[in-house]
Amino acid sequence: MCGRFTLRTPPRQLAEQFACELPEDFPVRFNIAPTQPVAAIRAGAGGQCEFTFLRWGLIPAWADDPRIGARMINARAETVAEKRAFRAAFQHRRCLILADGYYEWKKTPHGKQPYFIRLPQDQPFALAGLWETWRDPQNNETVGSCTILTTEAPEEMRAIHPRVPVVLLDDAPARWMTMDPQDKLERQQVLQAVNPRWLCLDPVDPWVNNPQNEGPRCISPLASGDA
């Protein structure tokens, strides 16, 4: 699954890679946790990209208590089109969650060992996301929130964890944003195309297997809170 990730890349580089305007600067994040703001790109009114921060943990529009979002941090790619909590967002409100690494915890007889997973050159990437707007009936304020899709881990990663976030590389971000959810065939194609198994993520290189080495400083043990 995906319960923690990083975003250390400078906004200017993200803006370039995702061809979207971003704020000039925001803090480096080594340990993004559920309920915290995450950097996201979604389709704006005119269809152009729009950068925003969204609370991690999707709060469905019909929720009467925003705390339900804490249990909606991930959505299974296999079933997201049908689930009541996600269906509407899947059809109309997909987004890109900006990241450059994520953590998975492997259970061992001694406890849990965190692994840090990132691309070979440490490039940033997008995670497939859905977003919603929830209006607080108390004060009429709105909360934008999101969830991250997960899929079965590629064979090489199963020793660490059976499921991983859907990582969008190359042209997959654009396809994720524009795919027609009604078209089951195309949905199949996109979900397969964005599965890391077909991409260049190498889970058995030192990036993954030696979290003690070379990783950002929050690894092993994970630092509490961001840098």
x/- binding map, residues 34-63, to DNA, per CB under 7 A? xxx--------------------x--x-xx
Note whether 220 binds DNA by CB under 7 A: no
Query: What backbone torsions phi and psi does residue 145 show, to the nearest 5 degrees?
Result: -135, 170
> Which of 12, 13, 21, 107: binder of DNA (CB under 7 A)?
107
CB of 15 to DNA, least distance (A): 27
Question: Catalytic residue positions?
Answer: 2, 104
Note whether 227 binds DNA by CB under 7 A: no
Amino acid at 155: E
Note whether 133 binds DNA by CB under 7 A: no
Helix, strand, coil percentages in the chain from 3-state DSSP, rounded to 5: 20, 30, 45
Note whether 86 binds DNA by CB under 7 A: yes
How does DSSP classify residue 196? G
Note whether 79 binds DNA by CB under 7 A: yes
CB of 71 to DNA, least distance (A): 3
Nearest to 166 by CA among 192, 145, 135: 192
Nearest to 119 by CA among 136, 137, 100: 100
Q: Which segment (9-17, 131-139, 155-163, 205-213) binds DNA by CB under 7 A?
A: 155-163
Note whether 162 binds DNA by CB under 7 A: yes
CA distance linking residue 79 with residue 90, whole number of Å: 10
Cβ-Cβ contacts under 8 Å for 136 (sequence gap 6 or more): 66, 142, 143
Give the number of other Cβ atoms within 10 Å of residue 111's Cβ.
8
Note whether 143 binds DNA by CB under 7 A: no
Summarize as ranges the residues that interact with DNA (CB under 7 A).
1, 3-4, 33-36, 57, 60, 62-64, 67-68, 70-76, 79-80, 83-86, 103, 105, 107-109, 112, 114, 150, 161-163, 221-222, 224
